[in-house]
Structure 1
Amino acid sequence: MKKNGILNSEISKVLADLGHTDQIIIGDCGLPIPQGVKKIDLALEIGEPKFIDVLNVVLKEMQIEKYFLANEVKEKNKGQLEEIEKSMGKTELEWLSHEELKQQSQRVKAIIRTGEATPYSNIILQSGVIF
């Protein structure tokens, strides 16, 4: 049994398998999952687990060089945006439309589904390198 870090075996495996520029998504419970993309479903009930809680745990173990958010979060979910920016610090941010985010979701290694039920609580995390 792992002593610390992410205990979810699917998330731990996905993170260990990532290479430079590979991407994953942490999403709300409404984000559609494209056919053929690995879904790691953490949703227990509406609101649990929270998107930001899952993001903060993943950030402890994943080297991230860039992240992507949908422009719509700026107007539709300002509180979530503030939490994301606080968690991500000075990491490079690239904006796209929600439709573009959904298109990009077809090329990610995995989507981690949370119980979050607030609009546009989705993030694409792009893997960096540790050297």
Structure 2
Amino acid sequence: MLKKIPKIISPELLKILSEMGHGDELVIADGNFPSAALNDRVVRYDGNNVPELMTAILELYPLDSYAEHQVFLMGISEGDSYEPTIWNEYTEILKKSGEPYSVKYLERFEFYEQAKNAYAVVATGEEALYANIIIKKGVIK
């Protein structure tokens, strides 16, 4: 056991977060995301949702203040009238983290391409639609 590490952070995820460098990206994926098909480094968090995991990760993980965008969301598909209320939760989590951030919305397949190049994917059991998020790691100042 270690002090001050959120209990939801597994040793495997802690190792990945520690290995990541400035500019590396982490996908926190919902339960529908094709995690294993897009990235070879997948950490399973099937019993957890994205907001609780994102909150814990941002306690340890600085966002990249040097990048134009630090956060990427999968935009709503054309013709879909669904309104992802989970994005409001993300906004609150990001504000509470105190990290400066800018959000970019990516078309579904554009998001998949970016996920292929991410350092890792954290596959959650999140049931909300459009809950996939990519966060870019910064430097400790």
Q: TM-score range by the shorter chain?
A: 0.7 to 0.9
- Cα pair 1:77 1:118 within 8 Å, conserved: no
Amino acid at match of 2:53: V
Give the structure 2 partner of residue 41 of structure 1.
44
Distance 2:125 2:58 in 1: 18
SS state at 2:85 partner: helix
Q: How many residues align?
A: 127
Instruction: Provide the alpha-carbon RMSD of the alignment.
Output: 1.9
Unaligned runs of 5+ in 2: 65-69
Secondary structure of the structure 2 residue equivalent to 1:76: coil
Q: What TM-score do you get using the length of structure 1 for normalisation?
A: 0.87
Uncovered stretches (5+) of structure 1, i.e. residues with no partner: none
Higher share in strand: 1
Counterpart of 2:71 (choices 52, 67, 72) is 67
Distance 1:63 1:115 in 2: 24
Map 1:7-22 → 2, pairs under 5 A: 7-22=9-24
Report what 2:120 is aligned to: 110
Q: Quote the sequence identity (%).
A: 23
- Provide the residue aligned with 1:31 in structure 2: 33
**Structure 1 ranges of 4+ moved more than 4 A:** none
